[in-house]
Amino acid sequence: MAVMNVNPTRMQLSKLKKQLTTAVRGHKMLKDKRDELMRQFLDLVRETKDLREQVEKELESCNAHFVNAGAVMSKEALDASLLSPKQQISVEVGSKNVMSVEIPQFESGTRTSDKGDIFPYGFAFTSFELDDAVMSLDKLLPDLIKLAQYEKSCELMSAEIEKTRRRVNSLEHVMIPRYQETIKYISMKLEENDRSSRTRLMKVKDMLLDKAHHYSAQ
């Protein structure tokens, strides 16, 4: 591991020790965040998987109803029946903070509260198969919106987990070892300098004693 390009001084050593303490603390916090994110992500993935399977089954049923309606009605009559919808769907988008990830919250609503407004046609010239198709699609819509919310949340949480994982690895395998190696290097340099200073002082002392008293200190 490469040593940082710093001056081997006691002030720098103290500074690096503080930075190492901060890095170790940050590494632990990021690991805890990553683990908790992963736990919530896996829970959400399981919910999303179950909901997607349910939605796909309901879509198959809804599609079957439309196929049956198309079998008893002409294409022109079917298209004309669905051409001018009476009901309007709105989706309000909010967000919720989960471990610093802003995941979306979708809330759907209708323009009117009248359940009959989901049918954009009169019943005189349409088949009950079309009624079943429209009702099944109306029933499916909330689950479709919820599935979109879950899948977007999974995408955002996955990106945050990957970003956090990279930070954890950078601290664990690069920054913290580099701090440790640099601290070790500076400590060795300072010890070496201390030994050199003591040796020089002893030699100076011997020279002064020899000059003053004509003998060297044992």
Residue 131: CATH number of its domain: 1.10.287.3240
Looking at the DSSP assignment, which residues form a beta bridge with residue 90? 109
Structural domain tally of the chain?
A: 1
Any domain includes 181: no
Q: Does 213 map to a domain? A: no
Quick one: DSSP state of residue 2?
A: P
Determine the average pLDDT of the residues in 114-127. Answer: 83
Q: What is the mean pLDDT of residues 112-120?
A: 85
What's the pLDDT band for 213 if we cut at 50, 70, 90? low
pLDDT value, residue 1: 60
The reply to whether 122 falls in a domain is yes
Please count the helices (runs of H) and the strands (runs of E) in the chain: 4, 2
Residue 5 domain flag: no
pTM for the predicted model, two decimal places? 0.77
Determine, yes or no, domain membership for 208.
no
Tell me the per-residue pLDDT of 42-96, one tens digit each, with 9 for 90 and over.
Answer: 999 999 999 999 999 999 999 998 899 888 888 888 888 888 888 888 889 999 9
Instruction: Please check whether residue 149 is in contact with residue 94, taking contact to mean a CB–CB distance below 8 angstroms.
Output: no
Return the ∠ at Cα 94 (arms to 51 and 108), rounded to 5°: 55
How many whole angstroms separate alpha carbon 120 and alpha carbon 87? 8
Calculate the average pLDDT of the chain.
88
**Is residue 175 in a domain?**
no
Say if 68 falls within a structural domain: yes
Separation between Cα atoms, residue 148 and residue 48, nearest integer Å: 9
Which domain, by its residues, includes 134?
Answer: 23-160
DSSP symbols for 10-50: HHHHHHHHHHHHHHHHHHHHHHHHHHHHHHHHHHHHHHHHH
In a domain, 84, yes or no: yes
Distance in angstroms (rounded) separating the CA atoms of residues 163 and 100: 12
CA atoms of 206 and 31, how far apart (whole Å): 58
